[in-house]
Structure 1
Amino acid sequence: MKILKVIPRQSIGRIKIGMNREEVYSILGMPKKQETIEWIGDYHIEYDNDKVVFIEVPNSIADTHFVLFNGVDLFGTEAKLLVKYISEYGKYDETDEELGYSYSFKTLGIGLWRPSIFEYEMINSEEFQELDEENQLDEIQNLYFESVCVFQENYYD
């Protein structure tokens, strides 16, 4: 397993905020089509004036990489615990309409997202128990975040 370090407002692995396209392509290879927002391998990258302003990776990268913030596995830590941990370093936007699904730590330049809110306490709920096994397994995946990103200052302003 490889390690991808998430450094607030700076980088995920070797891809850094502020890099130009050529630098990104020399590391990840060429995308199928050059656009403002590109998927290259496991990376989702957004550019402004040909400079990286946003980097995101999905939890599927956890099959081959540990994605770490200050030594904590971002895809292997329960969402509720992860938010609490990262909150020790910076505050998340409490006014976010998607709160629970997404957390934007603007002072850190880190974001987290999951498609559905699920907590361990919900396992015993009648609604969860009525789901078939496949749907239960899908819901349990939402205990964790599906993607993590870093972004430049003022990205969400």
Structure 2
Amino acid sequence: MQILKVVPGKSIGEIEIGMDRQEVYRIIGTPKKQESIEWIDEYHIEYANDKVIFIEVPDSFRDTHFVLFEGVDLFRTEAKLLVKYISEYGKYDETDCELGYSYSFKELGIGLWRPVIFEYDMLDDPEFQELDPEIQQDEFKHLFFESICVFVKDYYKK
């Protein structure tokens, strides 16, 4: 397993905010088509004036990497605990209409996302108890975030 360090507002692994497109291509490869938003080797990269302004990685990185922020694995830490931990470094946008699904720490430059809100206390919910055991098992993945991103400071003001 490799370690992929996440530095809010700065980088995920070797890919850094402000890096030019050609530097990104040297590190992770070239996409089939150059666009302002590209998917390259599972990285989601967004550019403005050919400079990186947004970097996102999916939870599939968990298969080959420890994706760490200040020593905490972002894909192996329960969502509720991770939000609490990152909140020690900065505040998330409490007005976000997607709160629970996503958390944007705009001042830090880091975001977290999952498609479904699921917490341990939902295990006792009668609706959950009625689900097929395979579906119940599948729901556990939503205890964790599915993607992590870093971005430039004013990314969400555009």
**TM-score higher than 0.5 here?**
yes
Corresponding position of 2:125 = 125
Distance in 2 between residues matched to 1:8 and 1:117, nearest whole Å: 23
Is 2:4 the counterpart of 1:4? yes
Residue 137 of structure 1: how far off its partner (Å): 2.1
- Note the 1:8-157 alignment, pairs <5 A: 8-157=8-157
Residue 86 of structure 1: how far off its partner (Å): 0.2
Amino acid at match of 2:116: S
Q: Deviations over 1:69-99 (max 9, x none)?
A: 0000000000000000000000000000000
Residue 132 of structure 1: how far off its partner (Å): 1.2
Structure 2 stretches lacking a partner, 5+ long: none
Distance in 1 between residues matched to 2:155 and 2:72, nearest whole Å: 25
Q: Deviations over 1:119-157 (max 9, x none)?
A: 001112111111112321221111000000000010001
The count of corresponding residues between Structure 1 and Structure 2 is 157
Structure 1 stretches lacking a partner, 5+ long: none
After superposing on structure 2, the runs of 4+ consecutive aligned residues of structure 1 that deviate more than 2 Å are none
TM-score, with structure 2 as normaliser: 0.98
Computed over aligned residues only, the root mean square deviation of the Cα atoms, in angstroms, reads: 0.7
Secondary structure of 2:47's aligned partner:
strand
Taking every aligned residue pair, what percent have the same amino acid on both sides? Answer: 74
Amino acid at match of 2:8: P
TM-score, with structure 1 as normaliser: 0.98
Secondary structure of 2:143's aligned partner:
coil
Amino acid at match of 1:14: E
Residue 102 of structure 1: how far off its partner (Å): 0.2
Distance in 1 between residues matched to 2:16 and 2:66, nearest whole Å: 18
Distance in 1 between residues matched to 2:112 and 2:32, nearest whole Å: 26
Secondary structure of 1:156's aligned partner:
helix
